[in-house]
Chain A
Amino acid sequence: MIESRHKYLFLFPALFTLIAIIIFPLVYTFRLSFSSWDVVQPTLDFIGFDNYVRVFNDMRFWESLATLGTVVLSVVSIEYIIGFALALLLWQDIERNRFFRVLFIIPMMATPVIISVVWRTMFHESLGPINDLLTMAHLPTVPWLSKPTSALIAVIIVDIWQWTSFIFILLLAGLLSLPHEPYEAAAMDGANRFQTFWHVTFPMMAPITIGILIIRIIEASKIMETVYVLTSGGPGTSTETSAYYIFIRSLREFQIGYSAAMSIVYLLLMILALMLIAKGLTRGLVSKGG
């Protein structure tokens, strides 16, 4: 009995932290989502499912979710391809490529807001260097931030520039931990480089790939600073992602109850989407490996 009490005593700090940091805000947000708390009425009243009904009728919320889907799908897949290519390049000759490995992770270490400010300057259509370079190369200039499609592409470029290194570093760590034996067997069987990659490296990297992609999808879904600095969600609503839209409604407009409802809906949709994605990836990648 005493031993059991001690056990709980040791568990308490971790449990307390968990409750304070994760459980309480979540429960409180859930409770807030049933209230009309806003700029004129800071009360934790109960208005039933009104906020949730409003979320389902709010086209801007669903559009922001669709924009987010486009951004996440684009950035994660492109970052994965580039990150894997870079990792493969630097996998073999570690000593000589140490400098490049450090160089590649610098973007990830920089603050997203600062990065976005720098990119905003680079994308500036009359004063920025990118259009200058295009002009020098006799190519047409691009309305980077002033047309819906190009603005979305600009957001995607910045995210790829910043976060490819995250995928790269984890994939490189994965590659370095692979056993040598399967490669020796492949060499004895006369496999060429592509066959070795496709039938040995790629399947063996499947478990780590799933982990990386899930983490990256979660992180990319929170995209906010880049949008805030680069486009403010515009032109129109073309680059407005869910996190940015919820930010506008909550902290700019102080629609606290409604924003809480949006956050809960968003959370549930994310959990559902991630479950499906994880299942799909496991089926697609691990089965190939298996």
Chain B
Amino acid sequence: MVKNRMTKIVVTIALAAGLSAGGVARADKWSEKYPIKEDVPGPASYEATSKKDYKGRTLTILTHAIPVMGEPTALHAKQFEKLTGAKVKVVHVPFGDLFQKAMIPFQTGQAAYDVMFYGSLWIGDFHNYLAPVPGEYIGMPQMQEVTRNYKDVATWEGRMIQFPVDGDRHYLKYRSDVINNPELRAKYKEKTGKELRVPQTWKEYAEMGRFFNNWDWDGDGEKNYGSAEVVARDNLMFSAIISRVAPYAKHPDVKGGFFFDLETMEPLVNTPGWVEGVKDFVEAQNYMPPGGNNFGLGDEIFSFGGGQTLFSYSWDDAFVQAMEPKSRIRNLVGAAPLPGAHKVWNRKTGKWDKFDTPNRAPYICWGWTSAVIKASKNKDMAFDYLAFFANPANHASDLLVGRFGVNPYRTTDFDPKFYIKEAGWAPDVAKTYCATLSGMDKSQNRVFDLRVPGVNQYMSSLAAGVSKALAKQLTPQQAMDEVAVEWKQITKRLGKDRVRKAYANVVALEDNLKR
């Protein structure tokens, strides 16, 4: 009896000890001190970083204002300080000032910062001032997980000079509770004779947008609208128009340029493919919420994310906003590739080509990236900071905080189970999200940003022209003709050969050429 009791006690103690030990193994010492689930072994892990000694040295970082990218920069800077003894100074700047804050020290030969976080489309302007990512960092396991699109985005003339910390793209977001609603499907069919489904083309998008505009289709007592888009002239509208134009102007069989003809460097922005996209954009004003043609990115996020519209397309933010825990449309949204087009302009033949299956041209839109400055005297520490920032433990944690602006860009990010388990997403939502995002990596007809010197001049001119068309100051054709004239002048000023050399990098990515 006593022996039995003793055996039970011993077994209980052993079980308790075992469970306790197991518990410690799951929640390691780093996850107790830092907001991560667990440290993941690797060269930039918490464990490995804690063995670096940067006492007495200062790292200066230029980044965006809090929260988007600014908050994770500051958070990981503090952690890096604690782990390595370094002093990390973080300079936060609003997006509108970020380019000049970086460019002025570059042009005046000062090493004002060691690390920069900025928009990846500026690689054409910054590449001469950035340090290539050393082989030991490119070889890290965490870097092996970065997908093709984002390695491409980080690369200039065959060398990785930007350190991937984020993945961006434009894709379609829709209200799944409307698109999958049998009553609304029947109503749509009855009124239009067409099927209500995730729009396959921009024309379909417009038809549905018009139908679901200006009435309360979700029964909350407030009117709903068709589409929320980024339309404000100097508030990232240039990216929205690229999404609109891409399937009309990016012909899968015509190589050699989307923005320019690489051979002649003649702008293509006033060709019929581009103009068709602009016409759609102008027409879309009829199914936007009131004031929607002055929406910037923030308005678009809160309009779709707040349940006001049926559709939206641009970066991840509106989707993330819709999926916030307290959102009233949480799990009532879906993700899909950007709509395509049944006709595509063939600039070689000068004719429209018909496509039975809509042509798709995924826009691998610019997003946040980072780099170490060539003139920095702390390159070792700077690359260690970036590797630590993007280590698997931090990355998994950052992905779950919507306001951080860190979006999927690694193979491991496209597993629906992660979002279902860690973020509480409904399986269907997680599946459409992961399928849409990972599907873009497989495309052979991708569109990238105009990553050439002076990109801001080209994009500012594009936005001004499109804005004139939107305001009906000019017709779409007149507006784009004006943009083309200005693009020629910009190219002439910046130097045709210089721009062509840089643009060849973009064309190589779009035409899937090895360089």
Contact = CB atoms under 8 A, between A and B. Distances in A.
B464 A60 contact: yes
Contacts of B97: 251
B107 A235 contact: no
A235 B470 contact: yes
Main secondary structure of the interface of A (DSSP, over half): loop
Contact-size category for A: 20 to 34
Nearest to A236: B471
A40 B294 CA distance: 32
Interface stretch (A103-111, A143-151, A174-182, A198-206): A143-151
B125 interface: yes
B186 interface: no
Interface in A215-241: 228, 231-238
B62 to A, nearest CB: 15
Contacts of A233: 233-234
Nearest to B109: A42
B103 interface: yes
Nearest to B294: A145
Nearest to A248: B460
B453 A236 contact: no
A252 interface: yes
Given A236-B471, A237-B468, A248-B234, A38 B96 contact: no
Contacts of B125: 39-40, 254
Nearest to B291: A125
A144 B291 CA distance: 7
Interface residues of B, number: 37
Main secondary structure of the interface of B (DSSP, over half): helix
B95 to A, nearest CB: 11
B457 A237 contact: no
A165 interface: no
A232 B471 contact: no
Nearest to B466: A236
A235 B457 contact: no
Interface string B481-505: 0000000000001110010000000
Contacts of B467: 234-237
B498 A40 contact: yes
Interface in A241-283: 248, 251-255
B291 A126 contact: yes
Contacts of B233: 232-236
A79 to B, nearest CB: 25
A232 B454 CA distance: 20
Interface of B: 96-97, 99-100, 103, 107-108, 125, 232-235, 289-294, 296, 299, 308, 453-454, 456-457, 460, 464, 467-468, 470-473, 493-495, 498
30 contacts: A39-B454, A39-B456, A40-B498, A42-B107, A125-B289, A126-B289, A126-B292, A126-B308, A143-B291, A145-B294, A146-B291, A146-B294, A148-B471, A232-B296, A233-B233, A234-B467, A235-B471, A236-B471, A236-B472, A237-B468, A248-B460, A251-B97, A251-B99, A251-B100, A252-B99, A252-B460, A254-B103, A254-B125, A254-B454, A254-B457
Q: Give the 6 A-B CB pairs with smallest separation, nearest first.
A: A125-B291, A236-B471, A125-B290, A42-B107, A235-B471, A232-B234
Given A38-B493, A39-B125, A236-B468, 10 more contacts: A38-B454, A40-B498, A42-B108, A143-B290, A144-B291, A231-B294, A234-B471, A235-B471, A254-B125, A254-B454
